[in-house]
Amino acid sequence: MTDLTAIPRLARSLARVVEIARTLVKYGLGDVLKKLDYNFVRRWTRDTEVARLSEVTREARIRLALTELGTTFIKFGQVLSTRRDVIGPALGEELEKLQSGVPADPFDVTRATLEAELKRPLAELFAEFDEVPLASASIGQVHRATLRDGRRVAVKVQHPGIARRIEDDTAILAELAALAERFVPELRTYRPVKLVAEFERTLTRELDFRRELRHLQLFRQAFARDPCVVFPEPLPALSTGRVLTMELLDGTPFNRPDELRAAGADFAALAQRGARVFLDMVFRDGFFHADPHPGNVLYLRPTLERPGGAIGLLDAGMVGRIDERLRERIERGVVAAISKDSVALTEQVVQVGEVPAHFDAAALQCEVADQLAFYHGMPLEQFQLGPALNEMTDAVRRYQVALPPTVALLLRMLVMLEGTGRTLSPAFNLTELLAPYQRTLVMKKLSPRRLLRRLGTAVEDWDELLRSLPRRAGTLFRMVQQDGVSVQLIHRHLEPSVNRLVFGMMVSALFVGSSLMWAFGAPPLVWGASAFGVAGCAASAVLGYRLYRAIQHTGRLEERDEGE
C-alpha cells in the first residue's frame, strides 16, 4: 500500500521523479517501469526517445544509471555492493566501481559551514587552512589545515543541503521500492523495501560525522599497542555532526604502485601486514573497518618510532560489529568449512540468515557439499578465497537466504581485502593468513574461560525466565478474567462440509413440503394430483441424487472442487 505521508514530498520532487524515470528508461531499464502501476510515470516515459545501451551488460547499465542520478543513488549502489547475498556477485562487483566524486563547494560556502558549526571565526580555529580541497566526495570534502599549535590536520566538511537532498531521494527510492515489490515479481527476491530501509539507516548514520569520530577512537584504542598500525587521531573539540577534524596522515595509498615503489615499500610484506590488521579486527576485536579498498589504506614511511614503516587507515565511516552470538556462529561456520561438514555449514547459514517460507535446505546443503568438495585438498597457491566466497554468496542468493547486514559486510570485506592484497602482490593468498586464526578459533572454542562464560550466560537466561514466569502467568490470568484472551479457531476444508449440510437441509425441506402438498391435494391439480407437490418431489429427488453423487466422488458439493 502506498505511503500517503510520502505523497507531499513526492509532489514537491516531481521534477526529480521525472528525471529518475527518464534515466531508467535511457539505460534500458524501462521494462521495469512499464510494470509499475503509476500512470504519471508511464505517461512521462511513454514518448521518451532514448538510445538503448545494448552493447554493455545489464550490471553496467545499472551502474551508469546510478552514476547519472547523482549522490544518493551512487551511495545506494555502494551500499548495495555490500549485499552480494541479495544482488549476486556480478552486480556487486560492478557496483564497487561507483565513484562518488562531486564538484567541490566554493570556499566561501565551506567557510560559512565551518564557522556556523564550530561557533568561531576560521582564523581563530586554524593557523592555516588550504582553500583547495584534497578531495570532494558525495557527502563532504576534505581540506588540509594547520592548528595554532602547529599540528597538521585534515578537516572533513559536509556539503550544505546534502541531508535534505538525500531525504527527498530516499523518499522517492522507498516509494519506487514498494511499487517494485508489489508489481514486479522478478524483483521481489531482491527485497527492495528492506534494502532501501537498510540503506536509509546506513546513510543517516554516515551523515553524522560524530559516529566516524567515535569509530576512530575505538580503532585507536584497539591498536594502541601496535605502532605499525595508525588511525588518524580525531579532535572532538573541532568536530561536530557536520565537521570532522582529525590528524593528517602523510602516506601513499595502496592504489599508487609507482609511488609505493619509489618509497621503497615491500609489496608482499605490505599486503600481508595490511591483511593481518583487518583479520585482527574481525577475529580479535569484533569491530572491523568495512571498506578496505586500496585508496583507504596508506603506506607510512619509516620513522625512528616505526623503523619498518606502518599501515595507515582512512575513512572509518563504514564499520561492522560482531556480537558474541554472531561470533560463535561465524566460528562454527569456519570450523565446519575446514572439516568439510556441509550439514553443519548449511545449518549455520540458515540460523544466521532469514530463510523464505518454502526454503529447500536439502538442496542448499547439496550445493554447499559440492563447493566444499571442489575446494577441499586444492593446493594453497591455487585456492582464492574471493571466488570461493562469491560462489557461496551466489548460492545463498539463489535460495533467497538474506544474511544479516554485518555478515554481508564481512564477506564483502574479505573479498575486497584479497583483491587489495593481489593488487600489491599477485602471489598474495588470504587463506594462508587465515590459518593461524582458524587454529585460534578452535582453541578459544574449547577454552575453559569460554565454556564458563557460555554457562554463565545460560544460567542468566534461565534465571531471567524463571523470575519472569510468575509475572507473565499473573498477566495471563488477569487477561482471562477481563475477557482479554480470545481463541481463534481456523477450520481447514470445513466450507464444503457446511455447504453439503445446508444443501441437504434445503433438499429435505423441499421434499417434505412438496410431499405434504401432494398428500393434501393442494391446487392446482393435474390428473387429480397437486402440480406443485409433484414438481417439488421430482426436483428434490434430482437434487438429492446430485448431492449423493457429489459426496461419492469428491466429498464436496461441487464436482469441480475435485482438483483443488
Residue 425, classified by CB atoms within 10 Å of its CB into exposed (0-12), middle (13-18) or buried (19+), is middle
The candidate with the shortest Cα–Cα distance to 310, out of 281, 337, 274, 344, is: 274
Q: Rounded to an integer, what distance in angstroms lies between the CA atom of residue 393 and that of residue 27?
A: 27
Phi, psi of 94 (to 5 degrees): -65, -40
The candidate with the shortest Cα–Cα distance to 406, out of 285, 292, 282, is: 282
What is the DSSP pairing of strand 310-313 with strand 229-230?
A: parallel
Q: Are 397 and 86 in contact (CB under 8 A)?
A: yes
> What is the model's pLDDT at position 216?
95
Question: For 301, which DSSP code?
Answer: P
Q: What is the mean pLDDT of the chain?
A: 80
b/e string for 443-467 if b means 16 or more Cβ within 10 A? eeeeeeeeeeeeeeeeeeeeeeeee
Mean per-residue pLDDT for 395-410? 85
Angle at 146 between CA 142 and CA 147, to 5 degrees: 115
The answer on pLDDT for 200 being more than 90 is no
Q: Where are the beta strands (DSSP E) in 326-463?
A: none
Mean per-residue pLDDT for 211-216? 95
Helices then strands, counting H and E runs in the chain, come out as: 25, 13
The candidate with the shortest Cα–Cα distance to 9, out of 208, 171, 225, is: 171
- In total, the chain counts a number of residues equal to 564
> What is the model's pLDDT at position 128?
95
Region of poorest pLDDT, from 161-165, 257-261, 489-493: 489-493
pLDDT band at 485 (very low <50, low <70, confident <90, very high): low
Q: Rounded to an integer, what distance in angstroms lies between the CA atom of residue 73 and that of residue 195?
A: 13
> What is the model's pLDDT at position 160?
92
Q: Rounded to an integer, what distance in angstroms lies between the CA atom of residue 556 and that of residue 561?
A: 7
pLDDT band at 97 (very low <50, low <70, confident <90, very high): confident
> What is the model's pLDDT at position 235?
96
Q: Are 326 and 407 in contact (CB under 8 A)?
A: yes
The per-residue pLDDT for range 252-305, each reduced to its tens digit, is 998 888 898 888 888 888 889 988 999 899 888 889 998 888 888 899 998 888
Instruction: Give the 3-state secondary structure of residue 86.
Output: helix
Phi, psi of 244 (to 5 degrees): -130, 120
Q: Are 89 and 394 in contact (CB under 8 A)?
A: yes
The one-letter amino acid at 552: Q
Q: Rounded to an integer, what distance in angstroms lies between the CA atom of residue 128 and that of residue 144?
A: 8
Q: What percent of the chain has pLDDT over 70?
A: 83
Instruction: Please give the model's pTM, rounded to 2 decimal places.
Output: 0.70
The per-residue pLDDT for range 18-29, each reduced to its tens digit, is 788 777 777 765
Mean per-residue pLDDT for 179-195? 78
**Residue found under cell 540468515:** 353
Q: Rounded to an integer, what distance in angstroms lies between the CA atom of residue 532 and that of residue 510?
A: 11
Q: Rounded to an integer, what distance in angstroms lies between the CA atom of residue 278 and that of residue 295?
A: 15
Query: CA–CA distance from 387 to each of 38, 332, 469 (Å)?
Result: 40, 21, 50
Grid cell locating 51: 538510445
Region of poorest pLDDT, from 1-15, 125-139, 349-363: 1-15
Mean per-residue pLDDT for 394-400? 85
Residue 216 makes CB contacts below 8 A (sequence gap 6+) with: 231, 232, 233, 234, 246, 316
pLDDT band at 491 (very low <50, low <70, confident <90, very high): low
Mean per-residue pLDDT for 173-198? 80
The one-letter amino acid at 422: R
Mean per-residue pLDDT for 527-531? 80
For the ranges 93-102, 217-226, 541-550, 554-563, the one whose mean pLDDT is highest:
217-226
Q: Rounded to an integer, what distance in angstroms lies between the CA atom of residue 351 and that of residue 290?
A: 23
Q: Are 75 and 86 in contact (CB under 8 A)?
A: no
Q: Rounded to an integer, what distance in angstroms lies between the CA atom of residue 543 and that of residue 520?
A: 23
The residue that leads in pLDDT, 313 or 462, is 313
**Residue found under cell 587507515:** 313
pLDDT band at 501 (very low <50, low <70, confident <90, very high): confident
> What is the model's pLDDT at position 470?
81
The per-residue pLDDT for range 34-58, each reduced to its tens digit, is 455 555 555 554 554 444 455 667 7
pLDDT band at 444 (very low <50, low <70, confident <90, very high): low
Q: Rounded to an integer, what distance in angstroms lies between the CA atom of residue 467 and that of residue 271?
A: 53
Question: For 237, which DSSP code?
Answer: G
Residues forming the active site: 291
pLDDT band at 447 (very low <50, low <70, confident <90, very high): low
